Structure 1
Amino acid sequence: MTNPTRRAFLGAASAATATAMTTSLASRAAAAFSPRPTDVAVEDVSFEYEDYRYRAPLKFGGIVVERATILNVTCAVRTRDGRAAKGFGSMPLGNVWSFPSRAHSYDETLAAMKALAGKIRDITAGRREPGHPIDINHDLEPDYLKAAVDAARERGLSEPIPKLCALVVASPFDAAIHDAFGKAHGLNCYRTYGPEFMDRDLGDYLGPEFRGEPVGRYVSPKAKGRMPMYHLVGAVDPITAEDVEKPIGDGLPETLPDWIAYNGLTHLKIKLNGEDLDWDVARVAKVERAAAAAQARRGVSEWAYSLDFNERAPDVAYLLEFIDRLKAEAPDGFRRIQYIEQPTARDLSVVQPGELAPAARVLPVVADESLTDYETLLMARDRGYNGAALKACKGQSHAVLLAAAAQKFNMFLCVQDLTCPGASLIHSAGLSAHIPSVRAIEANARQYMPDANRAWEPRFPGIFRVTDGTMDTSALDGPGLSVV
């Protein structure tokens, strides 16, 4: 039972923190920031779509997905001192993940996201005041969120477009500006987050306890050389040959042991249902048996898992029982788990303070869908989460700011995928490679949308052709987001 005195204290503390942040940010916003010759103004924005069918269905959050729409954005900018550049951003729209709805179909939520993309394009193109990309995104986000409200109303939706969904739509626009900014200065964007390019510091975005700290303090200017790659084991993916009902026959692996041999895998992310304890425990145990046999054939003794419940676990009691049963039934499988992702509801207001703490004392428990801003990160910590998932699909600006906060709070950090192909995978991999404490990269599109990667493979073979279980991220120090 939650202590009511403690709950009241936490509520008062949160309110005081929010008041202090609001006052501080308002006063800083009123201050005159010094124009810099490095600032960029947006001159033009355009976008287009690509559509792909999955080679195999992917099930998460109780829904099977078989297709994807990619939003590609090009942005032209010019610095105050006259240098011009174009940047590129790309992201799957991911409507099933970012706009789960019982009232609206896949096509309806996708159409709403496309309508919002047009509005965000116009808002971004109308921004003429030069600034740093993080400042531009920070200043425009309230307009983006208002546009989401307008788009839902204009399309007659019975449900609002969630903030998470609006972040996904805005993310390639934000990425394109970061990419253009770095290219205008001939620098990787992770080298442009220091005081020589930014008048504001973290205190202006996150509150007084970050005063005086540059954004660049929490990112690495040079990418890590190699990083392990997480392979996804979806809830309907075949594990063994006996699970293959209808072979795809396209030359790519069709079972988990075949994928392990094909990519030299050492990291597996396992999707779970969260509504059937027997199935969830049996699924991890089956993956462990198949992986153990495959790794033995390769002479590999150490590999890792992450577990993703996609918010489906009803409560922490379910999670704790799952942990106890897995320890008993598949102890080696349990030993390999690095972290558990978003086990319960994304709406943190229905989660009690400290509710996830008992599980977080056993393993890192990572918030993902819940995180849409700094305030939700604070709420997640209060609910007992001790980890945070960064995602390129929530925006580059969003990701680097939350990465700073999470590192200051000593939280476990990971970067997760939205089945990102092509330029969006390069963006996501670059984020993983430049956040110091992130240990691995997720890359699912090679399994589900390989056609979307093929044009990129010759240009970035270290990212798109994996044979030893790792990505070569050393090439991700190029100008902008390295998407060249």
Structure 2
Amino acid sequence: PLDETELDGTEPDDGYPVLLADWIKRDGLKCLKVKLRGNDERWDYERLVKVGQIALRHDVYWLTADFNCTVTDPSYVNEILDRLMIEHPRIYGMILYVEQPFPYDLERNQIDVHSVSARKPLFMDESAHDWHLIRLGRKLGWTGVALKTCKTQTGALLSLCWAKAHGMTLMVQDLTNPMLAQIPHLLLAAHAGTIMGVETNSMQFYPEASLPEAEVHPGAYSRREGMVDISTVQGPGFGYRIGEIKRVLPSPAARFGD
């Protein structure tokens, strides 16, 4: 919930923040992703405005707008952005980029998106499975790429190389990476040259999933002043220091071979 008006009494009482403002204050957040529907223009516009107003009250600098692959006509995004620029220019200026408004299957949905990227940087996410699709996206008007290690480290590096070689900007986003998955995710962001750090939210969605790893790498699993700290990540094997992590794994579901 964004504020008290969205509370319905079913919220968890687990010691963690519930409202957006409380997360901002606790973690010192400076950038927020706004999740949108992509098929309800009024709802999406009001959501952007409401999050933007909360952000302004709490000294958040940047927003990103994620339309979740449901838009089929660039005018949908353009009209929201144009209205925002006229009615709430400060919030419009805070939007760092627009993320994947259009269907993820780029080959089947070859939509010319130059009109959107003329307004704001336009980042591929679900469509960016490999560098061949990024090449097609650039031709259609996309200007940036969201890299994710969950799509494989090698794939992320190949996409990074092609995008950089062709003047596209980069972000590193996660799919709520917990446990060891968080470390290569943060390392990629640290070396990729992104436009604004890294997106990381596992400490918000399931904060206790990574407690054994956080004992060794506390800064990698908490956000303070809007940042994470990977200074403890060092040594071989992505710097996991896995021998020091007291992670108890369940019994394997199956065994193969000897």
- Structure 1 length normalisation: TM-score? 0.48
1:368 match:
125
Alignment partner of 1:269: what SS?
strand
Q: Deviations over 1:219-247 (max 9, x none)?
A: xxxxxxxxxxxxxxxxxxx0012212123
CA distance in 1, matches of 2:154, 2:195: 17
**Are residue 454 (structure 1) and residue 217 (structure 2) matched?**
no
Letter matched to residue 252 of structure 1:
Y
Gaps of 5+ in 2: 242-258
- Structure 1 residue 439: Cα displacement: 2.5
CA distance in 2, matches of 1:270, 1:411: 22
Match of residue 45 from structure 2: 281
Question: Is 2:4 the counterpart of 1:241?
Answer: yes
Deviations for 1:285-324, whole angstroms, at most 9, x for unmatched residues? 11112222233xxxxxx51111111101121111111111
Deviations 1:388-441 (A, max 9, x none): 111000111111111111111110100111111111111211110111245321
Partner of 2:95: 337
Of the candidates 244, 250, 254, which is equivalent to residue 14 of structure 2? Answer: 250
CA RMSD of aligned residues (A): 1.5
Q: Look up the match of 1:272.
A: 36
CA contact (8 A) 2:217 2:230 kept: no
Aligned residues of 1:392 and 1:428 also touching (Cα < 8 A): yes
Q: C-alpha deviations, 1:102-135, integer Å up to 9, x for none? A: xxxxxxxxxxxxxxxxxxxxxxxxxxxxxxxxxx
Pairing 1:320–2:86 present: no
Describe the SS at the equivalent of 2:171. strand
What's the offset of the Cα at 1:346?
1.0
Q: Structure 1: which 5+ residue stretches go unaligned?
A: 1-237, 296-301
Instruction: For residue 480 of structure 1, report the CA deviation from its aligned partner.
Output: 2.6
What is the percent sequence identity of the aligned residues? 35
Residue 212 of structure 2: SS of its match in structure 1? coil
Between the aligned partners of 2:203 and 2:72, the Cα distance in structure 1 is 32
Moved more, 394-403 or 344-353: 344-353
Alignment map for 1:455-474 (pairs within 5 Å): 455-474=212-231
Where does residue 164 of structure 1 map in the other structure? none
Per the TM alignment, residue 479 of structure 1 is displaced from its structure 2 partner at its CA by 1.9
CA distance in 2, matches of 1:318, 1:421: 35
Q: Is the 8 A contact 1:365 1:387 kept in 2?
A: yes
- Show CA shifts across 1:11-37 (max 9, x none): xxxxxxxxxxxxxxxxxxxxxxxxxxx
Q: Would you say 1:443 and 2:207 are equivalent positions? A: no
Match of 2:67 among 304, 309, 334: 309
Map of 2:248 onto structure 1: none
Contact 2:203–2:222 under 8 Å retained in 1: no
Residues 123 and 145, structure 2, Cα contact 8 Å, conserved in 1:
yes
Aligned residue pairs total 240
**Counterpart code for 2:216:** R
- 1:441-474 alpha-carbon deviations (Å, 9 max, x no partner): 1112111111212222221111112221111133
2:56 matched residue in structure 1? 292
Distance in 1 (alpha carbons) for counterparts of 2:73 and 2:182? 33
**Residue pairs, 1:135-146, within 5 angstroms:** none
Q: What is the TM-score of this pair, normalised by structure 2?
A: 0.88
Write the mapping of 1:154-169 to structure 2, written as runs, cut at 5 A.
none
Whichever structure has more strand as a proportion of its residues is: 1
Q: Does 1:381 align with 2:145?
A: no
Whole-Å separation in 1 of the counterparts to 2:194 and 2:67 = 23
Q: Say if 1:432 and 1:439, in contact at 8 Å, map to a contact too.
A: no
Work out which of the residue numbers 208, 231, 235 in structure 2 matches 1:478. 235
- Cα distance in 2 for residues equivalent to 1:453 and 1:260: 21
CA distance in 1, matches of 2:110, 2:230: 40
